[in-house]
Structure 1
Amino acid sequence: MELEYVNEHIGNKIKDLRNRNGLTQQELADRTELTKGFISQLERGQVSPSIVTLLDLIECLGTTASEFFKETEEEHVVFSEEGFFEKVDEAGNSIQWIVPTAQKYQMEPLLVVVQPHQSLEEDKPHDGEEFGYLISGRLKLYLGEEVYSVKAGESFYYPAKRKHHIENPDIIPAKFIWVSTPPTF
């Protein structure tokens, strides 16, 4: 890492903490026995503080060195098609992972298209629950020995403790959102 980047990064964090604490540069300088000019240069990344000075600043700003240097991952909230991952089977059925990092979360949303007169592979019983919302077409949901018909605009929800699979009995593709918790795909 270049020194300029490190200085700028430290300066931005110091300024952010100072502002969060409602302190002026002069107030922080007084608390740390530094000058206002030094605090200003530090916040702009123009100077490098000594380790002792930096630790003193961090303490005066009400945090610890480990918290100060902890890198926070930016929370990803909106996902676009460019990031989706798609798997298409030999029958042309597609499963799109519409939240690319869903495996690390509690649920896994998918966008699924089942071609006319095709079915998805049977899913063995597992822990968790599954939810679906049919956007278009029709589906047959096989859950254990039971068979359920699902029309566009309807949803389904079940514990996944029985074998289950989905088929499209119609002449048009069936498109639906499928959410599994915990992630299993």
Structure 2
Amino acid sequence: MKIGQKLRKLRMADSLTQEELASRADLTKGYISQLENDATSPAISTLKDILDVFGVSISEFFAEPHESQVVFGKDSTVIATEEDGIRVELLVPGAQNRTMDPALITLQAGEAMEEQSLHEGEEFGFLLSGRIELTLDDKAYMVKKNECFFFPSDQRHAVRNIGSGVAKILWVVTPPTFEYKGK
């Protein structure tokens, strides 16, 4: 990737306009545009000034991008907990270093997860099978197969399988909060 493309990518990731970046780096919008279009090359000191805006070092900027895993199979999952008819599988290992934590929750008939304490973030769930009762603070909601739920995590929340079969929930929390209890 060329210098200009990498700079544009950094700028867009920080939601900055060319004008905002130019102002923060004490440059002109025209110069930033020329850099991004690879019409000119920056002096090392100028590049450092721009990268300082993003909190990126010159060595990080020129480092080869590391290929991250995109697809995770069954062998990637980690069993966070498996007890009393409740199984929590972490679907993406190392979620503590990410902004979300996807998990597969399996509840046997009649089982309930402990009430979760308040925390920052948001939660989303999609019911793959079964029927559950989701309780937020003091209000209960029935969720059926192929329905989903979404709520801010600043409420007490619990889930209980109210069906006669197994309930499976694809549950995504941001930021990550599922705990590995291990065996």
In 2, the alpha carbon distance for the partners of 1:94 and 1:181 equals 20
1:98-109 correspondence runs (5 A): 98-109=91-102
* Residue 54 of structure 2 corresponds to residue 88 of structure 1: no
Match of 2:78, as an amino acid?
Answer: F
Deviation at 1:149, TM superposition (A): 0.1
Flag the structure with larger Rg: 1
Superposed displacement of residue 76, structure 1 = 1.1
Q: Could you list the per-position Cα deviations for residues 32-80 of structure 1 after superposition, in whole angstroms to 9, with x for gaps in the alignment?
A: xxxxxxxxxxxxxxxxxxxxxxxxxxxxxx9988369735421111011
Deviations 1:118-142 (A, max 9, x none): 0011100111110000010000001
What stretches of structure 2 of length at least 5 have no aligned partner?
3-41, 45-57, 179-183
| Structure-2 separation of matches of 1:169 and 1:81 | 27
SS of the residue corresponding to residue 163 of structure 2 reads coil
Task: Give the 3 Å change call, closer, same or farther, for CA 69–118 of structure 1 in structure 2.
Answer: same
| Contiguous gaps of at least 5 residues in structure 1 | 1-15, 18-61
Equivalent residues in 2 for 1:67-146 (5 A)? 70=63, 72-146=65-139
Query: Alpha carbons of 1:112 and 1:68: their partners in 2 closer, same or farther (altered >3 Å)?
Result: closer
Two-structure CA RMSD over aligned residues (Å): 2.3
Task: Name the SS of the counterpart of 1:89 in structure 2.
Answer: strand
- Are 1:66 and 2:59 matched, yes or no? yes
> Identity, % of aligned pairs?
40
Normalised by the length of structure 2, the TM-score is 0.63
Q: How many residues align?
A: 127
In structure 2, relative to structure 1, the CA distance for the partners of 1:69 and 1:162 (3 Å cut) is closer
The runs of at least 4 aligned residues of structure 1 exceeding 2 Å deviation read: 62-73, 87-90
> Which deviations, in whole Å up to 9, do the C-alpha atoms of 1:151-173 show, x marking residues without a partner?
00100000111111100011101
